[in-house]
Structure 1
Amino acid sequence: MVKVFLVEDEKFVREGIKNEIDWNSYGFDFVGEAADGELALPLIELKRPDILITDIKMPFMDGLELGRIVKEKFPDMVIIFLSGYDDFDYAQKAIHIGACEYLLKPISKEKLLSVLKKVKTIIKSKSDNNISNATIENIELDIKKFDTSSFNKGRLRDFIITGERSDVENFVEDYIDTMGGQLKSLIFRQYVIMDAFIESNNFFDKSSADKEELGNKFGSMEAFDMAVTDIHMMKNYLLNLLNFMIEKRDQLTGSHYSFILNKAKDFVEKNYMNADISLNTVAEYIGLSPTYFSTIFKQELGVNFIDYLTQTRINEAKRLLRATDKRISDIALEVGYRDQHYFSSAFKKYQKDTPKAYRENKNEK
C-alpha cells in the first residue's frame, strides 16, 4: 500500500478529500491528516508517508516551508501542492522545492485520483525496479525542478497593452518556443496558463462586466484543465485569451495606451501626498518597466511623469493656500514634500511666485 498524508487548514476541504475517496480500493493507505504544517511535521516523521498532499497557504507553518523541511529529511517523499489560482505565484517556489504536482482548488475527486495513480506508478516502479530507467524518467517529467527564473512574467502583459491582433499568433508561437522543453512539465504549463489569466484579470476593475466575462470564458477549472492538457491546447488557450483581451482593450480605450495611462493618473491622484511616490512605483503598479512607462507617458500626454506629478501637487497646494490658513510647512507635507524649501522652489518654478506671495494675492483665481 502507498501511504498518503493530508495537510489542509480548511476543515471541509480536508474532510472532503479524506472521505470522498475509497483509499484502500485504489491501493492507498490514508495514514493521517493535520490542519497546518506545524502540527503535521511530527506526524509525518512518525508515519513516513510516501505521498504528502498539502495546501500551500496555511497559518503557522505554510505548505512551502513544510515541503522544504520534508524534502530535506525525506528526499523520496512525493509532494502534491493544493492552491487557489490567486496564490499561483507560489508555483515557481513549489517547482524549486521539488513538487510533483500543483493542483488548483477546488479539486475534483477524479482529478486527484488521476494524479495519485500516476504518482503511485512512479513510487511502485522505483521500489520494485520493474521498469527501465528511461520509462521512469518519462513518467517523472512533471517532477523535475524546471528553472522558471528565465520566465518573463511581464512579456505577455506588455503584449496585451501594446500588441495588435494581427500579431497574436506570431507572439504566441515565439512565447511558447522560448520556454522549450520546460513545457513538458504539467506544473510549468499550469504556471504559464495561470500567469496569463491573472495578468489579464488584473486589467479589469473588480466589478466590471468584462472581468466577469473573462472569468466565465477563461477562468473556470474546466478551462484550466483543458488548457494544460498539452502544448497544443495551451497554445489555443493563449491565442483565444489574447484575442479577447486586445478586443476588450480597444473597446475600453480607443487606443493602445489610454487604459494604462488612466490607471497611472488615477494612482497619482490618490497617492501624490506620499513623498515616496515616483516613476518607479507607478510603473510597478501599472506593470511596465520604468523606461517603457516613461516613454509612453511623455509620448501620449506630452509631459514627462515628474512634471505631471509636480503639477498635481502644486495644484493641490494652490487650493490649500487659497482655502485654508494652514502653515506653508504643513501644506508642503500634505502634498508630498518633506522639505519646505524644496516645496517653495518647485512652487515658484511652476507658479512663477512663492507660496507666501500666492496666498497674499487674494484676488487670484
Structure 2
Amino acid sequence: MADLLIVDDEIYAIMGIKEGVDWSKLDINQVHIANSAEQARRILAQQKIDIILCDIEMPQEDGIRFIRWLRERNEEVRCIFLTCHADFSYAQEALRLGSSDYLVKPVSYEKLEDCLSRVIEDINRKKEEKRILKYGEIYLEHKSKDIEEKAGTKKSSKEIAEEVARLILQNIKEDLSVEFLARQVYLNPDYLTKLFKKEMGCSIVNYIIRERLCLASRLLIDTDASINEIAVEVGYPNYSHFTKMFRQLFGVTPTVYRQNNKSLI
C-alpha cells in the first residue's frame, strides 16, 4: 500500500482528483492534500509519502522549485507533475528532476489512474528488489564472515564510513552519487547508506553537501577565485543552485560571506 500527496493551490482541482479516482483499486492507502508547497513540506515532515501529484503553476512557490527542494532531501518519492500548459521547458525540467510523468490538465481520471498504476507497479517492483537484496546481503555476510576474519581483511563499519568520507573529499568536484561510492567500497548502495548514517550521524547526500559548502567557504576567504569558479570547483556547476545551498547553510550569500570574512583578515 502506498501513501499519496496532492499539491495544488486550486482546492477544486484537488477535490476533483480526490473524489474522482478509484484509490482502492490502485492500492493507495491514504491520500493527503496540500494547497501550497509550504503545507506540503509540513505533511512530508510528519508522513511517509510514496507518490506526489504536484501542480507546476502555483503562487509563492511553483511545483518545479518545490520538487527540486524535495530531490535534495529525498530521492525515493515518486513525482507526477500536473500543468495547464504543454510547455517543453517544463517537461525538460520535470525529466531532469526524475519525474515519473508529466500530465497536462484537464487530465482524464482514466489517464491519471493508468499513470498511477504504472508508478505503483514500479514502486512495488523496487521494494521486492530491495527485499531480495537484503536477504542476499544477510546470506553473503553470514557465509563470508569466517573467511574475512581469518584473512584479516574485514573492515569495521567505522573504517568503511571513513573511507567513503575520504572518497567524497577526493572527488568533491565530481557528480557524486551513492551508487558510485558503493562501487568503490564493494557494498550495496542501500546497505552503505544505512552504515554511513549510523557511523557519521548524517546521510551521505547531506555529508556531501556540507563538505562542498565548507570547502567553498574556505576558498572564498583564502583565494581570489570568482564565486562561479569556486562553485564549479566544489561540484556545483549551477551558480544559482550553489548560491541557494550556501545561503541555507551559512545564512548569507557567498558574496556577503566573503566580504564579511575578508575584512577580518
- Relative contact order (alpha carbons < 8 A, sep ≥ 6): 1 or 2 greater? 2
Identify, as 1 or 2, the structure richer in helix: 1
**How does the TM-score come out when normalised to structure 1?**
0.35
Q: Which has the larger radius of gyration?
A: 1
